[in-house]
Structure 1
Amino acid sequence: MLTSEMRTLICENTIGLVATVTPEGKPAVSPKATSVVLSPSEIAFLDIRSPKTRRNIKANPNVELNYVDVFRRKACRLTGVATYMGPDSKEFTILQNNFRDFDYLLDGVHGIFHVTISKAQLILSPAYDHGAKEEILQKEWLAKYTELIS
């Protein structure tokens, strides 16, 4: 499912956008900044301030996640089914060990979302269709963002 390139993209760009469906059938997208890859077919993220994401997943567990590398102009789109583990569950205790990089946030964690991936797609900018090289795109976009925040 997840290739090594996708895994690297997710690990280097842990902020992902999670798309869910509200109980009323409306689309909802929420940023999540605590994603970890568990296996080629599993990803998880923490529930810190996610009451609506939790509600939506309990009503409809189908999700999409998108991780974007703005510098290399690549993205990874994942489709899957999410489950929710509350802090009192055995699964939460087991999965919690995967979030060591986020230890400083654990006091505010309400649970863990676990996603079983059914489809994974690497998405490239159209710039690659015209012969762009990753290293050059990365340098150019880094320069653009550096200028923006300077």
Structure 2
Amino acid sequence: MMQLKEEIKVAIGDCVLCWFATSSADNIPNVSPKEIFCFFEGYIIIANIASPQTVKNIRANKNVCLSFIDILKQKGFQLKGIAEIIEKPSKDFSRMEKVLLHLTEGNFPFTTITKITITSSKPIIAPKYLLYPHTTEQEQIDSAKKSYGF
């Protein structure tokens, strides 16, 4: 298991949505948005709220990819790893469930949890940071707010 840097843990906590990629046994890709996820005891955990295809794919192919960005800073991370479906009878389920229920405020029921062991990570950054290296996060935030009409 790869240790996540503190900046990745913070970024996960700051993001409200991630994109979770799975693949079927026949290598058919599937990407779906997830909003109930967090860092937990060295893993990333996700509440499976309305995710039948995601769960089916993980049971057939455990290789996954999770991407998330701060839409204003336009920075984030891509994490790859091995996923496992945690069911209610598991001894780990109730500990994970407590954390995820706090995030859902009890509004979204779920019966399984995806637990991801991260094997690699890389940053995601907007091209502007590369093309104009003196761009600051605040400049990018101001530009994004203008673009999004905030």
Q: TM-score, normalised by structure 2?
A: 0.89
Structure 2 gaps, min length 5: none
- Within a 5 Å distance, the mapping from 1:33-112 to structure 2 comes to 33-39=35-41, 41-99=42-100, 100-106=102-108, 108-112=109-113
Match of 1:88, SS state, is coil
TM-superposed deviation, 1:69? 1.4
Post-superposition CA distance 1:74-129 (Å, at most 9, x none): 121001001011123222112112221223235x2021100000111112222112
Shift in Å, 1:14 = 3.0
- In 2, the alpha carbon distance for the partners of 1:2 and 1:50 equals 26
CA RMSD of aligned residues (A): 1.5
Q: Equivalent residue for 1:146?
A: 149
Deviations 1:44-85 (A, max 9, x none): 010110011000000011100000112111121001001011
2:43, 2:16 → 1: CA distance? 14
Are 2:79 and 2:120, in contact at CA under 8 Å, matched by a contact in 1? yes
Residue 106 of structure 2: SS of its match in structure 1? helix
Query: Residue 141 of structure 1 aligns to which amino acid in structure 2?
Result: A
**Contact preservation (8 Å) 2:73, 2:137:** yes
Distance 1:137 1:42 in 2: 30
Give the distance between the partners of 1:2 and 1:14, measured in 2 at CA. Answer: 19
Identity %: 26
Aligned to 2:9: 7
Comparing 94-103 with 64-73, which one deviates more in the overlay? 94-103
